[in-house]
Amino acid sequence: MTCKLLLVDDHSLIRAGVRALVSDIPGYCVVGEADDGNLLLEQVRTLAPDIVLLDISMRSTSGLDALTQLSASGSTCKVLILSMHTDPDLIMRALESGAHGYLLKDTSATELEQALCALRNGERYLSPAIAHTVINQALLHTQHRKQPSGERHTLTARQLEILRLIVRGKSTREIASGLGLSIKTVETHRSQIMKRLQIHDVAGLVLYAVREKIISLDD
């Protein structure tokens, strides 16, 4: 089944470039475009896309405001932020507002495909280039607010290894290849990690991993 994409960006050249890249990726098609965040909800209702590629900085309604509205609407479509911004606060706000992934606009066609594949499979995706930024921001959060005491994690050694790779922004395919496991096995471990920790988003996993010293800036 073809995965339907909606492009939301106020630069027509960017939309044209992304559309061209998507046309070369089997199993995906662009079903619509919008140049302003205030058109997002209407387009989602009309076109029922599986994934929205959303810019943050746009005229009238920003991508973050549109994302918040989309999350509140109960829509089940996934949102991949496609932005030039690497500001830690913006990235964290996007993830906390409901984004399922964050990709930089100078990304390669290969990474775009990896991100789309991850979201299509119900996973999260962070550009490796900003994974360190997210970890750093999470560390700052833990330094400026008191964390509630709780039980130490009860993850297995393999789950801890996979958690570290997830937090670094590695895709399921990359993790499977690096550890010599099947994609299905990695997906099972990922599901068990989130269920055991009761955490279901990347930002939460990062905060947990830093707080529990499972990963550090030098890891």
CA dist., res. 140 & res. 6, Å (int): 34
Give the model's pLDDT for residue 200: 72
User: Rounded to 5 degrees, what are φ and ψ at 45?
Assistant: -65, -40
pTM exceeds 0.85: no
Give the model's pLDDT for residue 135: 67
Q: What angle do CA 99, 89, 49 make, to 5 degrees?
A: 15
With both helix axes pointing from N to C terminus, report the angle between 157-167 and 172-179 in degrees, rounded to the nearest 10.
130
CA distances from 113 to 2, 108, 167, 212 (A): 14, 9, 19, 32
> Is domain 134-211 in CATH 3.40.50.2300, yes or no?
yes
CA distances from 9 to 68, 79, 98 (A): 16, 13, 18
CA dist., res. 15 & res. 32, Å (int): 10
CATH number of 3-126: 3.40.50.2300
Give the model's pLDDT for residue 218: 53
How do the domains of the chain map onto residue ranges? 3-126, 134-211
Give the model's pLDDT for residue 215: 74
> Identical fold at 3-126 and 134-211?
yes
Residue pLDDT tens, the chain, 219 long: 899 999 999 899 999 999 999 999 999 999 999 988 888 889 999 999 999 999 988 777 788 888 988 988 888 899 999 998 888 778 888 888 889 999 998 888 899 998 999 899 888 888 877 877 776 666 665 554 444 444 455 788 899 999 988 887 788 888 999 999 998 899 899 888 988 888 876 667 877 887 777 876 555
